[in-house]
Chain A
Amino acid sequence: MGRFWSILFLLVPIFGVGVFLWAMADWWPMQGHWLPENINDYGHVIDNLFYFILIITGIIFVGCSLALFWFLWKYDAATNTEPVKYSHGSHTLEVVWSILPAAALLFIAIFQLNAWEDQKMRRPILNSGADGIEGTADDVLRPPLVQVTGRQFEWRIRYAGKDNIIGTEDDILTVNDLHVPYGEDIVVQIQSMDVLHSFFLPNLRIKQDMVPGMKQFVWFRVREPNVNNAKAQKYDIVCAELCGWGHYKMRGRLTMESRQDFDRWLASQWDEQNRAEFKLTSSAESQ
């Protein structure tokens, strides 16, 4: 039976790696069972780190699992005639296999500090301020284009409008439908009206909890696609923090479009928001 069980444990690395490769290869029936398309310029680094860790952990996983298999195969009491190795351990080995993983882990940790800062701490700037040097205290930060407020159970969206200030009369309000232009640094101010929500954009590799009482910012930039297929692209906005019974209902939509289309869309929203006349004849098509 030892052979049988050894092979069962051999299947672990085989299937373990196999399933991941299968999903990565996008083969039937696991098409689209892998990282969704990334469109955020700041998001590639997350994907790269993911693969980097995947490769490192994959090697350790396969190595350890094969060692486990080999020991199980070789030292099965039913077939192994050698006497037991009466050993209490090896000081050298302990030191080696403490220091190597420690170095690797520390490297992984330090390697990604910069990526983390880019994601969460270095908000894009509008200009570098009086001293002309980026990264100093007098940098003028990019103001948020839009404010997204989580609410049980929808995303209330408020564009800053012409004056670039949120909370004034020229704000443009929508719900669940976020449009942003390509090719620009976009800063979104996020907050919550009631409980915790989490602003999750899978395709942008963005996730940030919205905490009532806190004003936070997320930022991203989407490169303009080729002119040939430069039509608006739509992505999901997901709530990733349990916010009550209707948690699953908090579905939003992000539409990426060119600056002209975006401005046009914003203007049409503004017009609709200020609709101040109603005639019966027009009621059939639009209201």
Chain B
Amino acid sequence: MSKFLLRSKFDRHILFEWILHTTMLSFIRHRCSWPLGLLCVAVLAGCGSPEAKFRRYETFAKKTGGSESPRTGLPENQWRGIDEALAGLFGTPDQPIIPAVENVSLVLDQRKLERAAGPVHSDELWVGMGLYREHCAHCHGVTGDGNGPTAPFLNPYPRDYRPGWFKFKSTPLGAKPTHADLKKILIDGIPGTAMPSFKLLPEEEVEALVQYVKYLAIRGETERRLIVLTNEELDEGERLVSFDVAHKSGATEAEKEAAQKEADERFAEQLEMIKETVSGVIGRWAEAESAAVEIPQRPAMTREELVASRQRGRDLFYGTIANCAKCHGDSALGDGTTNDYDNWTKDIIDPGKPDTTQEMINQYVALGFPEPRPIKPRNLRQGVFRGGSRPIDLYWRIKNGIEGSPMPAATPKPEDNPFAKGLTPNDVWDIVNYVYGLQFDPLSQQPQGFGNPLVKTN
């Protein structure tokens, strides 16, 4: 009957039946529901709704193109080429598609993507659709650029998925996170940030959302590479191929084939390059599943041994090998190095560099780049650990470092050379024990707030 009513979480028939019955008009239902429905549609729906669109990655294009480039980094026609290539590969926010490259099924699942994509609505079976825009988009943006309407005033900013870097993961620096890593973030949230826990969503909805996050990350990384490709390989005025015809919905098989063939013939080389690009990105996501870093069992300890372990951890914390105190501060309050920036900022522009002017930053801010804020080392005395507070989480943070942040990976100590600098697994466990214990240190305790004197608190 109408696109508009379908977009509610409930089926439209229920709504109309409900109205008709509560107004005791059920006896005329069969005659009147159509005019009534049309009236409602005419009054309420207005004239069509705008379609959500992916935002162009202009900050990156501008940075890649340099100061000589146009305001948005690339000329309009080159942008169109990129838009069309991306639309052909990935579809639109309302109708995602999976790029037709090998191994893609290891990473992405079309049906789950469709569950998460599109405007908020419910399908014929009342299954909630458009999950990403219901739960995520107002912070992370429709594009996954971490620039939704709510984003500018969150601290820290929501993650920009497009570079494909994720902080809290079990894999080493440079690798993609595993599926389970992303899922853990969704389920537990990120303490100390605005990322809430989505533990109470049904399992399949979380799965769909994780898939969609990966999809956006892959799309973003592809966009970055296409921008580089455009900048490096193409002449001025030349643009990427338009091969979305082949994927356009509604086209018959024959049309698709013909279009694909034509595109193949004319731009075989370029197409190959793009596909290679995409499959390279997807391949790295597929690899990540087996790249998680194993953690040896933490040695069992008595209370006294734990105290000793913490003492050793403390020594390492302040020592020259781990040297955690350099950034996290002598007090471990996270006040050591406070003027560094994260890679999402430095990737576009590094405000820490002496030759960076406010004017240069503003140029990116005008393109939607969040106002740069220094990254703060964690205050370890609060017991708030963003990537999780389980021993294995802390171990991974120390062992692997934190992607995109100044937190480095620990240098492993070679087993055959006792004099080389580095940390053994037990050293890492000592630091974990020390860091975890800091929140219970008497110095970390908050002063008690005032209670209600008439309610006994013992």
A contacts B directly (C-beta below 8 A): yes
Min Cβ gap B220→A in Å is 25
Min Cβ gap A23→B in Å is 11
Q: How far is the CA of A215 from the CA of B453 in the complex (A)?
A: 11
Task: Give the residues from 167 to 223 in chain A that come closer than 8 angstroms, CB to CB, to chain B.
Answer: 167-169, 173, 175-177, 191, 212-217
Q: Which of A120, A140, A215 contacts B451 (CB 8 A)?
A: A215
B352 contacts the other chain (Cβ, under 8 Å)? Answer: no
| Chain A positions 210 through 249: 1 when the CB is less than 8 Å from some CB of chain B, otherwise 0 | 0011111100000000000000000000000000011001
A131 contacts the other chain (Cβ, under 8 Å)? Answer: no
| Chain B positions 391 through 434: 1 when the CB is less than 8 Å from some CB of chain A, otherwise 0 | 11001000000000000000000000000000000000100000
Task: Give the residues from 141 to 197 in chain B that come closer than 8 angstroms, CB to CB, to chain A.
Answer: 150, 170, 178, 180-181, 184, 188-189, 191, 194, 196-197
Q: How far is the CA of A130 from the CA of B150 in the complex (A)?
A: 57
Q: Which of B188, B452, B455 contacts A175 (CB 8 A)?
A: B188
CB <8 Å contact, B290 and A280: yes
Interface stretch (choices B227-235, B245-253, B273-281, B292-300): B292-300
Q: How far is the CA of A228 from the CA of B170 in the complex (A)?
A: 44
Q: A216-B455, A276-B298 are in contact. Are A29 and B18 (CB under 8 A)?
A: yes
Min Cβ gap A260→B in Å is 23
CB <8 Å contact, A143 and B451: no
Q: A213-B449, A278-B292 are in contact. Are A246 and B297 (CB under 8 A)?
A: no
Interface range on chain B (Cβ under 8 Å from partner): 35 or more
CB <8 Å contact, A154 and B184: no
Residues of A within 8 A of B43 (CB): none
A283 contacts the other chain (Cβ, under 8 Å)? Answer: yes
Interface range on chain A (Cβ under 8 Å from partner): 35 or more
Residues of A within 8 A of B347 (CB): none
Q: How far is the CA of A177 from the CA of B197 in the complex (A)?
A: 10
Q: Which of A123, A140, A246 contacts B196 (CB 8 A)?
A: A246
CB <8 Å contact, B452 and A216: yes
B353 contacts the other chain (Cβ, under 8 Å)? Answer: no
Q: How far is the CA of A275 from the CA of B347 in the complex (A)?
A: 35
CB <8 Å contact, B188 and A277: no
Min Cβ gap A274→B in Å is 6
CB <8 Å contact, A287 and B170: yes
A272 contacts the other chain (Cβ, under 8 Å)? Answer: yes
Q: Which of A246, A252, A287 contacts B184 (CB 8 A)?
A: A287
Task: Give the residues from 153 to 167 in chain A that come closer than 8 angstroms, CB to CB, to chain B.
Answer: 153-154, 156, 167
Q: Which of A120, A140, A283 contacts B178 (CB 8 A)?
A: A283
A152 contacts the other chain (Cβ, under 8 Å)? Answer: yes
Q: How far is the CA of A173 from the CA of B393 in the complex (A)?
A: 15
B389 contacts the other chain (Cβ, under 8 Å)? Answer: yes
CB <8 Å contact, B458 and A140: yes
- Which interface residue of A177, A191, A275 has the most chain B CB atoms within 10 A? A275
B67 contacts the other chain (Cβ, under 8 Å)? Answer: no
A121 contacts the other chain (Cβ, under 8 Å)? Answer: yes
Q: How far is the CA of A154 from the CA of B382 in the complex (A)?
A: 17
Residues of A within 8 A of B188 (CB): 175
Task: Give the residues from 74 to 94 in chain A that come closer than 8 angstroms, CB to CB, to chain B.
Answer: none
Q: How far is the CA of A139 from the CA of B200 in the complex (A)?
A: 39
Q: A156-B191, A251-B200 are in contact. Are A280 and B292 (CB under 8 A)?
A: yes
Q: A29-B17, A121-B454, A283-B178 are in contact. Are A277 and B392 (CB under 8 A)?
A: yes
Q: How far is the CA of A245 from the CA of B196 in the complex (A)?
A: 12
CB <8 Å contact, A276 and B449: no
CB <8 Å contact, A280 and B294: yes
B456 contacts the other chain (Cβ, under 8 Å)? Answer: yes
Q: How far is the CA of A272 from the CA of B197 in the complex (A)?
A: 17
Q: A276-B391, A287-B180 are in contact. Are A141 and B440 (CB under 8 A)?
A: no
B302 contacts the other chain (Cβ, under 8 Å)? Answer: no
CB <8 Å contact, B449 and A191: yes
- Which interface residue of B194, B197, B292, B296 has the most chain A CB atoms within 10 A? B197
Q: Which residue of A lies closest to B291 (CB)?
A: A280
Q: How far is the CA of A168 from the CA of B442 in the complex (A)?
A: 11
Q: Which residue of A lies closest to B299 (CB)?
A: A276
A273 contacts the other chain (Cβ, under 8 Å)? Answer: yes
Q: A154-B197, A169-B440 are in contact. Are A278 and B178 (CB under 8 A)?
A: no
Q: Which of B21, B450, B457 contacts A213 (CB 8 A)?
A: B450
Min Cβ gap B287→A in Å is 13
Q: A214-B450, A246-B194, A246-B196 are in contact. List 9 more A-B contacts (CB 8 A).
A: A153-B194, A153-B196, A213-B450, A215-B457, A216-B451, A253-B199, A276-B295, A278-B392, A287-B184
Q: Can you give 8 contacting A-B residue pairs, CB < 8 Å?
A: A29-B17, A140-B458, A143-B458, A167-B445, A176-B197, A215-B448, A215-B452, A287-B178
Interface residues of B (CB under 8 A from A): 17-18, 21-22, 150, 170, 178, 180-181, 184, 188-189, 191, 194, 196-197, 199-200, 290, 292-298, 389-392, 395, 429, 437, 440, 445, 448-452, 454-458
Top 3 A-B residue pairs of the complex, sorted by shortest distance between their CB atoms: A276-B298, A278-B295, A213-B449
